[in-house]
Amino acid sequence: MDYLQALRPARFAGRILLVAALLATAICFAATETIDDLLHRADLVKTANNSASQDAVKQLEMQEGNLTPVQRDYLDYLRGWQLGYLGDFEPAVTALQAVMERTQDPTLRARARISLLNDQANAAHYEEAYANLSVLLDSLPQITDRVAHFHSLTVAALLYYEAGQYELAVNYADQAHAYDHSDRSTCIALRGKAEALYRAGKLRFEDVEIRGGLDACQRIGDPIYANLTRLLLAQAQIDQGDAAGALALLKPYDAEMAQTHSSAANSRFRATLARCYLLTGDLVLASEYARSAIEYANKQTSSRQVLYEVAKRQADDKGALAYHEKYAAADKGYLNDTSARALAYQMVHQQVLDKKRQIDALSEKNKVLELSQRLDSAAAKTRLLYIALLAAILAGVAAWAYRTKRSQLRFQRLAQRDSLTGIFNRQHFMETAQDSLLYCAKDSRDASVLALDLDHFKSINDMHGHAAGDAVLKRVVLACQTQLRSIDVFGRFGGEEFAILLPDCDEAEAVQRAETIRAAIAGSRGVTDPASTGIVATASFGIASTNTSGYNLATLLANADSTLYNAKRAGRNCVMTYRAPAAHAVNS
C-alpha cells in the first residue's frame, strides 16, 4: 500500500510529461505549414470550401507583418477575390486593380486581371471588362502558368456568353477543356459550356458531355460548380416539360447550396426551385423560394414573375398587378443590361479593329516612305510617287471615315432598337412618341395610344421553348407592321408587351385599327418561320385617346395599360377603350 502511494506522484508526473509531448508535437506539426502553404491552401479551396479558405486567410492576417511583398500581394488578391464572391463587386474591383498595379509577379497579375474583369462585368462596368478581356487574350501566349492560362480561357467563355456571343463562348470553353483534362478543369470548363449552350437554347437534359462535367465537380467536392451545372440541366429539363424531374434533381442540394454563402449562385438556385414549385402546383413553396431568391439578389426577374403567377392563381388581382409591375421593371432592367453588355462588346471589338487598321495603315505608310527614300534620286519618279502616296492616304482617310460613320450609325441603331424584333425599344419609343404628341397638341389634332400584350405567352415558352417564343414575337411584330402607317410609332416595352401611338387618329378609328391588328395577329401562323408554325398567338388591347386622356404621354400609357388589364380580365383576345372611371368592351 505504501509502495502504491509512493508511486502515484511519479505516475502523475509521467502523465504531465506525456501531455506536454503531445502538445509540442501538435505545435511542431502546425508550424510546418509555411506561409506559402497557407496561401496555396486558401487559394485552392476558395470555391469548394470557402469557410476553410477564409480560416487560412485569417491565419495569414495574424502573420501579415512577416509576409514578403509578393506574399502580401497574394493575400490582397485573395481578399479582393472574396469580396467579389460575396457580391461586393465595387470594392472587389478597387482591390484587384490595386494588386495589378503593385505586383511584380506576372502570373498573379494575370489572375488578378481575370478576377477583375469578372467583377467589372458584375458591377456593370461592361466596356472596361471587355477591354480588359481583349488585353488578357492578347497576352495569353505569354501566360506560362497553367492555372492562369486555363482560367483566362474560362473567363473569356463567361464574358462572351454574357454578351450573347454563344459560339465564341462554346469555342473558348472547349479550348479550356482541351487544355487541361483534370477533374477540376473539366468541371469548370464544362459548366461554362453548359451556360453558353443553355442561353443559346441548345442544352438538352440528357447531354452526356455536360453530365460528365457534373460528375467531375462531384468528384472534386466543389458545391458551387456542381450545383450551377445541376441548375442548368434542371432548367433544360423544365424547358423539355419535366418540372417534377427538375425539382427532384435540385431539392436534395438546397441546404448544401445555402452553405456556400454565394449570393448570386443561391439566388439563381432558389429562383429555379421557385419555378419548379409553381409548375408542379405548390404555390406556397413557390412564393417562399421566389422571395428568398430576391433576398439573395434583388435583380431576380424570374422570381418576380413567379410571385405574379402565384397571386394571379390565388385570384389576388391587386397583388398580381403589383408583382407584374415589379416584374416588368425587373425585366426591363434585364433587357437593358443585356443590351448594354452586347453594345460594350461591339464597341470594344470595333475599337480593336480600328486599332488594327491604324497599325496596318502606319505599316503601309512606312513601306511607302521607305520606297520614297530609295527613289529620291529620280525627281520625276519621286513626284509621281508623292502623288500616288497622297492619293493612297486620301483614299485611306475616306475609307476610314466611311467605316467610322457606318459604325456610328450601327451603334445608334443598337441603342434605339429592340435587339430581337428590330422595332423601337422603350426609351426611343417614349422620345419619338412625345415629339409626335407635341406636334398633334399644337394643332389640336386627335391621337390615340394602343397598349397590347400577348395572351398566355409564358405558356408558349413553357410548352414550345424560348426559341419558339422568340419566333412568335417576331411574327406578331410583322403582323402589326403590315397594318401600320409610316407616321405611327411602334415599340416593345419588354417581354410580350408593346405600345403603338396613332397620330391623327380619333378613338373610333383607333378601335377599328386595333381590331384589324388583333385579327392579323390571331390569323398569323408562322408560315415563313418553321420555329413558330402552328402556334396560335392572340393579344389583348387597351386604348386611350387624347379626347379622354389629354396629350400627356405618361397619362395616355397609364390609361391604356389599365384598360389592357380590363381586357385581360374580360377574357383576352379583345379590344377595350378607356372610360373614366371604368372601361367598356368594344369587340370580343
> What letters, b where the CB count within 10 A reaches 16 and e where it falls short, cover 180-209?
beebbbbbbbbbbbbbbbbbbbebebebee
Peptide bond into 581 cis (omega under 30): yes
User: What confidence tens digit (pLDDT) does each residue in 385-433 have?
Assistant: 778 888 888 887 777 767 766 766 566 566 789 989 999 999 999 999 9
User: What confidence tens digit (pLDDT) does each residue in 444-472 have?
Assistant: 999 999 999 999 999 999 999 989 999 99
Q: Is the pLDDT of residue 3 over 50?
A: no
Q: What is the pLDDT of residue 410?
A: 62
Pairwise pLDDT comparison (366 vs 153), residue with the higher score = 153
Instruction: Tabulate helix, strand, coil % of the chain (nearest 5).
Output: 75, 5, 20
Query: Which residues, in sequence order, are bridge partners of residue 587?
Result: 575
In order of 152, 364, 494, the CA distances from 420 in angstroms are: 30, 41, 11
588/572 Cα distance (integer angstroms): 8
Q: Residue 71 CB: number of other CB atoms within 10 A?
A: 18
Among 76-80, 279-283, 412-416, which stretch is predicted with the lowest mean pLDDT? Answer: 412-416
* Residue 76, all three cell numbers: 490582397
104/69 Cα distance (integer angstroms): 9
Q: What is the pLDDT of residue 11?
A: 43
User: What confidence tens digit (pLDDT) does each residue in 297-331 have?
Assistant: 766 678 888 998 898 898 888 887 887 777 777 66
Average model confidence (pLDDT) for the chain?
A: 84
- Outline where DSSP puts E strands in 62-143: none
R_g of the chain, CA atoms, integer Å: 32
Pairwise pLDDT comparison (78 vs 319), residue with the higher score = 78
Mean per-residue pLDDT, 470-495: 94
Closest CA relative to residue 552, chosen from 390, 434, 412: 434
Among 76-90, 308-322, 574-588, which stretch is predicted with the lowest mean pLDDT? Answer: 574-588
Among 25-29, 100-104, 166-170, 529-533, which stretch is predicted with the lowest mean pLDDT? Answer: 25-29
Q: Which helix (H) or strand (E) holds 451?
A: strand 447-454
24/41 Cα distance (integer angstroms): 24
pTM of the model: 0.51
Q: Which helix (H) or strand (E) holds 501?
A: strand 497-503
- Outline where DSSP puts E strands in 196-332: none
